[in-house]
C-alpha cells in the first residue's frame, strides 16, 4: 500500500487535475456557526452567535482576481511550479484547524479511482454539455455523457541500456 500511496503522490499532473476539478465543481458548501458574537476587525460588523455564515467558495474559485481565465479547465495552474494564488482563495476543504478531516483520504481515493479507470478505458468527449444543479451550495452534474473505449495494451519495449524503456500504446476506438 505504501508503494501505491507514494506512486500516486508522485503524479503531479494528476494532483493538479484533481485540484482543478474540485476548484471548478466543488461538491459541498462551507459554513460556520459562531458560538459567541464575533466582531469582524476593522469593519464594525458583528456576526451574531448562532447565525449561519456561508463562505462563497464557488464565487471565490471563479473570480478572475483569484484565478486567471477562471471558467477554463486548466490543471497546469496547480502544478508546483505554477502555484501563485493566494492560499485563502482556494478553499474546497476549508482552511485552518477546522478544515475537512477527510481531505487527504478523499483526494487519494479520487486519484486511485481515476488511475484505475484510465488504465482500463479511453474516454472521449461528446457534443452534449454537462448540466448541473445546486445541492447544498455545491454543484452536482445532472448527467455526464462520454464515449468510452476499452484500453488495449500492446507494448513494444525498446531498451536504452539505462533500464528505461519506450512503450507504445495502441487503443481501440470508442464503443
Q: What is the C-alpha separation between 140 and 142, in angstroms, rounded? A: 6
For residues 125 and 120, give the distance between their C-alpha atoms in angstroms, rounded to a whole number.
17
Q: What angle do CA 94, 114, 119 make, to 5 degrees?
A: 165
C-alpha closest to that of 67 among 97, 91, 34: 91
CA pair distance 134, 59, nearest whole angstrom: 14
Q: Is 167 annotated as a binding residue?
A: no
Count of C-beta atoms within a 10 Å radius of residue 76: 11
Grid coordinates of 59:
464565487
Q: What are the binding residues for heme? A: 100
Q: What are the binding residues? A: 100
Amino acid at each position: 500500500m505504501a508503494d501505491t500511496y507514494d506512486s500516486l503522490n508522485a503524479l503531479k499532473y494528476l494532483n493538479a487535475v484533481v485540484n482543478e476539478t474540485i476548484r471548478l465543481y466543488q461538491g459541498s458548501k462551507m459554513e460556520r456557526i459562531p458560538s459567541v458574537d464575533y466582531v469582524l476587525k476593522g469593519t464594525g460588523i458583528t456576526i451574531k452567535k448562532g447565525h449561519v455564515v456561508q463562505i462563497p467558495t464557488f464565487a471565490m474559485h471563479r473570480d478572475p482576481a483569484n484565478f486567471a481565465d477562471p471558467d477554463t479547465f486548466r490543471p497546469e495552474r496547480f502544478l508546483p511550479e505554477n502555484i501563485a494564488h493566494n492560499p485563502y482563495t482556494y478553499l474546497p476543504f476549508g482552511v485552518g484547524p477546522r478544515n475537512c478531516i477527510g481531505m487527504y483520504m478523499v483526494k487519494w481515493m479520487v486519484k486511485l479511482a481515476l488511475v484505475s479507470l484510465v488504465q482500463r478505458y479511453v474516454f472521449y468527449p461528446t457534443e452534449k454539455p454537462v448540466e448541473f444543479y445546486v445541492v447544498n451550495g455545491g454543484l452536482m452534474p445532472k448527467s455526464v455523457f462520454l464515449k468510452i473505449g476499452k484500453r488495449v495494451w500492446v507494448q513494444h519495449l525498446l531498451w536504452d541500456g539505462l533500464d528505461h524503456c519506450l512503450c507504445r500504446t495502441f487503443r481501440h476506438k470508442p464503443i
